[in-house]
Structure 1
Amino acid sequence: MTQHVRDVMTARPVTVEPVASVASVARVMRDENIGAVLVAEQERLRGLVSDRDLVVRVLAEGGDPERTTVGDACSGDLVTVGPDDELRQAVAAMREHAVRRVPVVDGERNVVGVVSLADLAIERDPDSALGDISAAKPNR
């Protein structure tokens, strides 16, 4: 049976406006126990910012996390998939572009979800180390 992106994606992912400060987004990531958020304006995808982006693009460059916006730190050139795409297409896109997360958008680039490497591990190989770790409760 063919699986679709909508079958494994995280629906209603955390999104932030491009004007949000890096510090505020870091706190959102901590509070939500996530490693990335989608950057959107009025639900239209503008970018994705990961915890690594915040470190490499802002902190390591001496940026002020209270004054630097996620709009300045996010990846804007994104690979996306649609909710009705076959899951194998999302996997192929992740492999080809060496990314761990792919935003899911409708035809108008409105954010409807995100599919991550962890989602795939839990769905396809829950007994693997990655599947096990991804399904575990956070250790705060």
Structure 2
Amino acid sequence: MEVREIMTPNPICCMPNTSLETVARAMVRHDCGEIPVVENEESMRLIGVITDRDIVCRTIAQGKDPMGMTARECMSTPAVTVTPETRLEDCCQVMEDYRIRRVPVADQNGCCCGMVSQADIARRAPTEQAAEVLKEVSQPRNTAEPAMA
């Protein structure tokens, strides 16, 4: 099975100059915890990701006011990605290796074309594989710094 078979296509994206307030509202509206950051609407070239955890750890936890900040100021970059042709097993390994719950999908031009989440894997992958991803991604970190995406 390839990533293209389980990914959520055409995820909501933001640009580096998008306000954190707009990013957070998009997360609520689209019920997601990570939004890909793209260079611009025309190219859709992926340059990073911003998570709900990035916003909390890189703003509020540091005493900064998120209301005047942009995605560029707290996004994780470069983004860890997979391609639509990536085998599901390899995608799971990437998520385990980086301990990330979601991974953006970039095409051969580096354009964001999808997103794979733990939920996508839980719904479509074999039970053992889904359990392994959940277990490995949930391991505690050795640092207080937020993970890459």
TM-score class, shorter: 0.7 to 0.9
The CA deviation at 1:68 is: 0.8
Q: 1:92: which partner in 2? A: 93
Q: Which runs of 4+ in 1 moved over 6 A?
A: none
Q: 2:7: which partner in 1? A: 9
SS of the residue corresponding to residue 39 of structure 1 reads strand
Q: Deviations over 1:59-111 (max 9, x none)?
A: 11122222111111111032211101111110010011111111100112101
TM-score relative to the length of structure 1:
0.84
C-alpha distance in 2, partners of 1:63/1:107?
37
TM-score relative to the length of structure 2:
0.79
The answer to whether the 8 Å contact 1:58/1:73 transfers is yes
Q: 1:74: which partner in 2? A: 75
The CA deviation at 1:12 is: 0.3
Q: 1:118: which partner in 2? A: 119
CA root-mean-square deviation:
1.4
Q: 1:22: which partner in 2? A: 20
| Identical residues among aligned pairs (%) | 38
C-alpha distance in 2, partners of 1:77/1:97?
13
